[in-house]
Amino acid sequence: MTTYKLLALDMDGTLLNDRKEISQPNAEWIAKCREQGVTVVLSTGRGIQHILPYFDQLKLDSPIVAVNGGEVWKRRDQLHLRHVIPFGQIEELRRIALELNVWYWAYHTEGKPTRDRWDESCGSQMAWIKFGYRTEDPAKLAILHERISQIGDFELTNSHPTNIEVNPAGITKASGLREVCKLLNIGMQEVVAVGDSANDLAMIAEAGLGVAMGNAQEEVKLGADVVTDSNEEDGVSKVIKRYILELG
């Protein structure tokens, strides 16, 4: 029925509504999509701990792209690969946040420390996967971009216009999806990728069909092949119906 074999979904602002819920229409059409043999993959900036409740709700059994491609999971309990940021660089990234007095957070293998919950005693023992900043001040965002680039080579994206997400250079949701495609023996041209933010741009550009949400950042809409309805209007269900199952 469809030429596409994999549906890659961002979570926040895409699969999830503004209450961080999967709507009934989205859940129903994802189930119909899977019934037709299409693999549904969650491809998100979240860490695995914050993905699994939704993964289980949808009864998925597919690979997972987590932390913007920093991890690829073959299945919910089997890690395929992980790309880490050396702890020395994490300390430098945090130092910038402290100097500029901006909110910051990170993902490591044990959880998601934030500015308010940062244990300085165990950092060097963790595998760090992502660092993030948030500020409403455009001038500080510009300074952050400049200062981060002085520390090392990183992949800089965002999940909202007021934040910056830092992964190792070359690590994106697209690089994660390429690994998933190898695992499943399919090509990126057989992938539909849906998202709303800058951290979705790489996978939207490389997929056979790149879809921006109606609530997406403008640069994401410009980089997509098509634009669907917003996350508050069950946009994911409409992508499945129109482009994957071709029901009009």
Helical (H) or strand (E) element with 213: none
pLDDT of 35 = 96
pLDDT of 1 = 46
Q: What are phi and psi of 60, to 5 degrees?
A: -80, 155
Q: Which amino acid is at 98?
A: L
| Burial profile 112-122: b = 16 or more Cβ within 10 angstroms, e = fewer | bbebeeeeeee
pLDDT of 248 = 64
pLDDT digit string (tens) for 70-106?
999 999 999 999 999 999 999 999 999 999 999 999 9
For the annotated catalytic residues, the residue numbers are: 10
Closest CA to 30 of 226, 175, 194, 180: 194
Residue segments in the chain with a per-residue pLDDT below the cut of 50: 1
Distance (Å, whole) CA 219 – CA 110: 33
30: tokens are 């994802």
For the beta carbon of residue 140, count every other beta carbon within 10 angstroms. 18
pLDDT of 246 = 85
Q: pTM of the predicted model, to two decimals?
A: 0.95
Distance (Å, whole) CA 246 – CA 184: 23
Distance (Å, whole) CA 193 – CA 174: 9
